[in-house]
Amino acid sequence: MAMQRHEINYQELKTDAELSADDQELLGKAKQALLKSYSPYSRFQVGAAARLSNGMIISGFNIENAAYPVCLCAEQTTIAAVRTQFPDTGIQAMAISVKSAHHLVDQPATPCGQCRQLLSEQERNNPTTIRLILQGETGPIWIFRSVNDLLPFSFTGEWL
């Protein structure tokens, strides 16, 4: 039996000053969005912002519910807003930032499994890959060239 190997490549920047002006703006919009988060239970705020191929930036944030399975992630609200307002427009990049009331988040937080699957399908239907820009409250920034770098073996509609 042959062992297979999969490697994940991403770029790590020390500060947002190393980002392009467009990426700084996008990450800034994600950080603004997390301030609107409704997260009274976990007190873990997440904001996301997507830059569309038409230049527009659409943002979203997490919305918690006492019944946790009903919670919506920031990535989900952002994608829903994009698809509702601009159904035929591609997504170039998405920035995601997090903040906790319990401790300083000084490392990027990656999307949960459900959001990785959601983003993977969006990318599959997108004209280009979707770059992901991740940062905690402070600290380094991780940049992934594609959603598939985070979910290389995603479930697809081809199996249905």
In tens digits, what is the pLDDT along the chain, a chain of 160 residues?
899 998 999 999 999 999 999 999 999 999 999 999 999 999 999 999 999 999 999 999 999 999 989 999 999 999 999 999 999 999 999 999 999 999 999 999 999 999 999 999 999 999 999 999 999 999 999 999 999 999 999 998 888 9
Query: How high is the pLDDT of residue 60?
Result: 99
Q: What is the pTM of this model?
A: 0.95
The pLDDT of residue 121 is 96
Residues annotated as part of the active site: 75
CA distance 108 to 24: 15
* CB environment 38-70: b (16+ within 10 A), e (fewer): ebeeeebbbbbbbbbeeeebbbbbbbbeeeeee
Q: What pLDDT does residue 158 have?
A: 87
Say which CATH topology domain 21-150 has: Cytidine Deaminase; domain 2 (3.40.140)
Task: Please give the pLDDT value at position 133.
Answer: 99
* pLDDT value of residue 10: 97
Angle at 85 between CA 80 and CA 88, to 5 degrees: 95
Backbone angles phi, psi at 77, to 5 degrees: -65, -35
- What's residue 126's pLDDT? 95
In the chain, where the domains are located: 21-150
